[in-house]
Chains A and B, each alone.
Chain A
Amino acid sequence: MRSEAVPEHDAAAPQASPTDEVGAFLNRRREQIAQRWADEPLFRAVFTVSRDEAVEAGRSVVDALAQVAASGRVEDSDSAGFTVVREQLARMTAARSRSGMSTAQVSGEVDALRAPVVNLLVADLPDVPAERLRESTEALTVLMGTLRLVVMETALTEVQSLIDRQQMQLLEVATPIIRLWDGIVAVPLIGTLDSARSQVVMETLLEAVVDQQARYAILDITGVPTVDSLVAQHLMKTVAAVRLMGAECVVSGIRPAIAQTIVHLGLDLGTVITRAGLADALAYALHGLGADIVHATPGGAGHR
């Protein structure tokens, strides 16, 4: 499609490659293309304030395509030419997504930009031999396909960074470290534990043990809906790591249903110390620190 195809024609006259031809065409017809695109749904729906705005955006996309065509790499979505319009394309796709369009629909709208520009190219080169026209049209079609790919890539990147942000927020929200007493820290776990979250929980708890020189770390799983073998494994790893650091880990909040699941699954929590509730775990830890809880009223003395 590129330089390999040229030599045949070389004998007649030195001619531009199809990609060069497309590049020159885009520069020549920049204004017309931008005007036509401004009436297409993608531009019309995003730039609602004024048509001039849509035309201006169209010009910058045409410029980018011209630059990519001139570089000869029409099939490469990493072409330097696309860099300048990536942000603008991202804004456009984000606007379409916000108005409820699916990714496939946005992709279709980008595809709709192809026909006007291809028609313009055909109309623009009436005297060119059929073979060369076919090559140029093909190069332009490939280029428009690459534009579509770039748009999809930017859309995916947007979605991914949104997920990343939300994941981080979730991790922050979901792992508070509470200092219950001098030397006792607790992490109440809420929601489903997947591998990544368990990792963060483990690390956060272990850091807290060091920072606060806590001899007891309580993992309260009252808010964890289910305990499967993976979660059980993470619990046991946490307990083992805490022990290696010289502290003791207590798991509290194992609801009856979860206790049954654990037994049913045949999971062995081994040497893990468990207590029914957070209060029981705290009492256990306080006792270990030599600070027993006693009732203040006479006759009610005795520790839990």
Chain B
Amino acid sequence: MSGTAAGVEARLPIRSDLDLVWVRQHVRQAAATLGFGLVEQTKLVTAASELARNTLVYGGGGELRAVPLTDGRAQGLRLVFSDSGPGIPDVEQALRDGYTSGGGLGMGLGGARRLVHEFAIDSTPGAGTTVTVTSWAARTPRPREEP
């Protein structure tokens, strides 16, 4: 069911609209390769889209690093979004739903956090922001995928 991790590891620039499309497509493909189910893939791609857009809009651009993980028999995908923008002065507040400093629905950070299994944010005002998220492919295969 799960393939090899080849092609999952990547470094993608986040500099424009078009880069967001590449980020989504890479994350989709990586998650599929690692054996994520359709719903888990969709959640992870959506989270990646939110975070990449944050990197682009608030961080002034940056990059995504994708890393495959293995923990026993479980396969996971870690995504690290980093920028060297102005940083987030109040991380707690930024994670709250409804918070926005730039014209979204305010679902970006808090919403993305609910779509992944692990979420960490490291921000230094004036020096940039790094958001690290990790999700694991479900260990139990879905009934639908049984022959």
Residues of chain A lying within 8 A (CB to CB) of residue B141? 168
Closest residue of chain B to A164 (Cβ to Cβ) is B140
Residues of chain A lying within 8 A (CB to CB) of residue B139? 164
Band of interface residues on B: under 10
Pair A168/B39 contact, Cβ less than 8 Å: no
Residues of chain B lying within 8 A (CB to CB) of residue A258? none
Closest residue of chain B to A199 (Cβ to Cβ) is B39
Whole-angstrom distance between the alpha carbons of A207 and B143 in the complex?
Answer: 13
Pair B140/A203 contact, Cβ less than 8 Å: no
Whole-angstrom distance between the alpha carbons of A199 and B142 in the complex?
Answer: 11
Pair A172/B143 contact, Cβ less than 8 Å: yes
Whether A171 is near chain B, meaning CB under 8 Å from some CB there, is yes
Whole-angstrom distance between the alpha carbons of A167 and B141 in the complex?
Answer: 10
Whether B92 is near chain A, meaning CB under 8 Å from some CB there, is no
Whole-angstrom distance between the alpha carbons of A172 and B146 in the complex?
Answer: 11
Pair A196/B143 contact, Cβ less than 8 Å: no
Chain A interface residue count, Cβ-Cβ cutoff 8 angstroms = 10
Q: Mark B91-116, 1 if CB is under 8 A from A, else 0.
A: 00000000000000000000000000
Pair A196/B140 contact, Cβ less than 8 Å: yes
Closest residue of chain A to B37 (Cβ to Cβ) is A203
Whether A200 is near chain B, meaning CB under 8 Å from some CB there, is yes
Closest residue of chain A to B39 (Cβ to Cβ) is A203
Shortest A248–chain B CB gap in Å is 21
Q: For residues 110 through 147 of chain B, which have their beta carbon under 8 Å from a beta carbon of chain A?
A: 138-144, 146
Shortest B145–chain A CB gap in Å is 10
Residues of chain A lying within 8 A (CB to CB) of residue B142? 200, 203
Residues of chain B lying within 8 A (CB to CB) of residue A196? 138, 140
Residues of chain A lying within 8 A (CB to CB) of residue B39? 199, 203
Residues of chain B lying within 8 A (CB to CB) of residue A168? 140-141, 143, 146
Q: Mark A192-230, 1 if CB is under 8 A from B, else 0.
A: 000010011001000100000000000000000000000
Closest residue of chain B to A169 (Cβ to Cβ) is B143
Residues of chain A lying within 8 A (CB to CB) of residue B140? 164, 167-168, 171, 196
Whole-angstrom distance between the alpha carbons of A56 and B87 in the complex?
Answer: 67
A: residues with CB less than 8 A from B are 164, 167-168, 171-172, 196, 199-200, 203, 207
5 pairs of A and B residues whose beta carbons are closest in the complex: A172-B143, A167-B140, A164-B140, A171-B143, A203-B39
Query: Can you give 15 contacting A-B residue pairs, CB < 8 Å?
Result: A164-B139, A164-B140, A167-B140, A168-B140, A168-B146, A171-B140, A171-B143, A172-B143, A196-B138, A196-B140, A199-B39, A200-B142, A200-B143, A203-B39, A203-B142
